[in-house]
């Protein structure tokens, strides 16, 4: 470590301190040359340093103003790195990137874990065409995000994310690779924007159906979807060899879409 910093728990500050892992994140992100990489929470710039060498532009959002001196000094020669000193969640990303004209937009970041889901939702709802998101998350969260039907981790968030992305766990990162050391291991997730985004008549209805289907984990569809047209749902489920006694955790995104499009 070549800097002095008082780490702040409230900002989820666990800085990566492992060259191999940093290199591996950048390598496995497969960043094309003409890419704008958005980084959320550069910290002391360990990942930023690697990103600036492969991406044409890096735009990093950092909330902790105590890191300003370190970051400005470290990247003073790098015209392709820009910082926005504010809460990422309060920004209008579309507005922030309007002067960039890169061919590709990626998000690559070791994000603050206390706002993992809000960050992902913000990216999805930003109106920006983000091609790929490579983020570090807590192992347990990564397992949920990337779970497939039938897996006990599979829940409404897995289905919701699968609507937008193909999700993969790239590799696990031990808690020993951070300063300060967190309590749990992490995993690098890659979320590739789906090129074949399914046809959905009413997204709000689909998302409500998914949420309601998983409302009580141990209950079956008949119990969780009492307010819906159960006869119609049963008819659709038949096509997939399922019925109202099935549980949501056994259903693919495709089934939820079929139901939402036909009720």
Q: Which residue is nearest to ligand SAM (CB)?
A: 41
Work out whether 87 is an interface residue with ligand SAM (CB under 6 A): yes
Task: Pick between residue 141 and residue 255 the one whose CB is nearest to ligand SAM.
Answer: 141
Could you tell me the CA-to-CA distances from 165 to 139, 171, 207, 238 in Å, in that order? 19, 18, 15, 27
User: Among 31, 36, 47, 71, which residue interacts with ligand SAM (rule: CB under 6 A)?
Assistant: 47
224 binds ligand SAM (CB under 6 A): no
What distance in Å separates the CA atoms of residue 171 and residue 15, rounded to the nearest whole number? 18
Which x/- pattern over 62-81 shows residues binding ligand SAM (rule: CB under 6 A)? xxx-----------------
Binder of ligand SAM out of 55, 71, 108, 112 (CB under 6 A): 112
Strand partners, 110: 136
Give the residue with the Cβ less far from ligand SAM, 12 or 155. 12
Distance CA 181, CA 194 (A): 35
Binding to ligand SAM (CB under 6 A): which residues in 26-45?
Answer: 40-43
Minimum CB distance to ligand SAM smaller for 89 or for 172 = 89
258 is an interface residue for ligand SAM by CB under 6 A: no
Q: Closer CB to ligand SAM, residue 190 or residue 213?
A: 190
Q: Could you tell me the smallest distance in angstroms from the CB atom of residue 18 to ligand SAM? A: 10
User: Per CB under 6 A, does 142 bind ligand SAM?
Assistant: no
| Phi–psi pair at 136, nearest 5 degrees | -90, 130
CB closer to ligand SAM out of 72 and 89: 89
Could you list the residues that contact ligand SAM (CB under 6 A)?
A: 11-16, 40-43, 46-47, 61-64, 87-89, 110, 112, 115
């Amino acid at each position: 470590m070549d800097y002095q910093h008082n780490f702040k728990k409230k900002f989820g500050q666990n800085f990566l301190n492992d060259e191999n892992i940093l290199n591996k994140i950048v390598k496995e992100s497969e960043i094309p040359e003409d890419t704008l990489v958005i980084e959320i929470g550069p910290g002391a710039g360990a990942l930023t340093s690697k990103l600036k060498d492969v991406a044409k532009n890096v735009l990093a959002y950092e909330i902790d103003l105590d890191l300003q001196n370190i970051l400005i000094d470290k990247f003073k020669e790098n015209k392709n790195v820009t910082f926005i000193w504010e809460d990422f969640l309060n920004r209008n990303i579309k507005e922030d990137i309007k002067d960039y004209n890169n061919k590709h937009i990626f998000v690559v970041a070791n994000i603050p874990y206390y706002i993992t889901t809000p960050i992902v939702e913000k990216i999805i709802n930003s109106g920006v065409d983000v091609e790929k998101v490579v983020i570090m998350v807590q192992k347990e969260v990564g397992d949920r995000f990337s779970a497939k039907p039938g897996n006990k981790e599979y829940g409404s968030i897995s289905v919701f994310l699968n609507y937008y992305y193909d999700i993969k766990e790239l590799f696990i990162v031990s808690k020993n690779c951070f300063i300060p050391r967190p309590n749990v291991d992490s995993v690098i997730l890659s979320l590739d924007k789906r090129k074949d985004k399914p046809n959905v008549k009413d997204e709000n209805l689909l998302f409500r159906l998914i949420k309601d289907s998983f409302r009580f984990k141990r209950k079956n569809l008949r119990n969780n979807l009492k307010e819906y047209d159960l006869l119609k749902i049963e008819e659709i489920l038949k096509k997939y060899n399922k019925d109202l006694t099935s549980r949501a955790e056994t259903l693919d995104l495709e089934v939820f879409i079929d139901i939402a499009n036909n009720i």
